[in-house]
A = this chain, B = another copy of it.
Amino acid sequence: MNFCSHCGAPVSLKIPAGDSLPRHVCEQCGTIHYQNPKVVVGALAEWEDKILLCRRAIEPRYGFWTLPAGFMENNETCGEAALRETREEAGARIELGSMFTFIDLPHISQIHIIYRARLLDLEFSPGEESLDAILLGEADIPWDDIAFRSIDYTLKCFFEDRRKGEFELHSTSFAIPSPGTYR
């Protein structure tokens, strides 16, 4: 951030009175520009013993597999974000279950939240940001080609809980990026 989005004057990094962290502060109009973590929301949608996965048609991680998920927008709920992303990326209609994974990624200032869900019909097809959208059983999950660590974690929790016959909320935090690739 170089300029004030309110008045267009240069900003400088300083700790405002009564604050403890440096912020971008406008030299001219005094506006303090806070920057906050972003929330990514998605769905793990089931159909019989299979789950809905998408192959990414965009960077980062072009060609890798993920659950339908994306940045939450202003003026929507987390649940609405999960429904919207699933419709956009997989063309799929789902019924939402409860929150399943809640993952802090402080190194990239993101929270990833995945809900359990039930696919309502088989009328789905990949959206613009996906190369494929398909149903896969546990034996066919491409474990070496999962796009993000939070998705890998979510899938592993899911199959483990399914074996136990009991699903619970899994919270974790990934403080350090995986070696080699941006995740």
Contact residues of A with B, CB < 8 Å? 1-8, 10-11, 18, 20-21, 24, 33-39, 71-80, 88, 98-99, 102, 104, 106-107, 109, 111, 128, 169, 171, 173, 175
Closest to A75 in B: B106
Contact (Cβ within 8 A) A7 B3 = yes
Q: Which residues of B contact A111 (CB under 8 A)?
A: 39, 78
The one of B10, B39, B169 in contact with A169, judged by C-beta atoms closer than 8 angstroms, is: B169
Copies of this chain in its oligomeric complex: 2
Contact (Cβ within 8 A) A74 B5 = no
The one of B72, B76, B79, B109 in contact with A75, judged by C-beta atoms closer than 8 angstroms, is: B109
Residue pairs across A and B with Cβ atoms less than 8 A apart, 19 shown, are A1-B5, A1-B6, A2-B5, A3-B3, A3-B5, A3-B6, A5-B24, A5-B33, A8-B8, A34-B71, A35-B74, A36-B39, A36-B73, A37-B76, A75-B109, A77-B106, A77-B173, A78-B111, A99-B102
Q: Which residues of B contact A102 (CB under 8 A)?
A: 78, 99
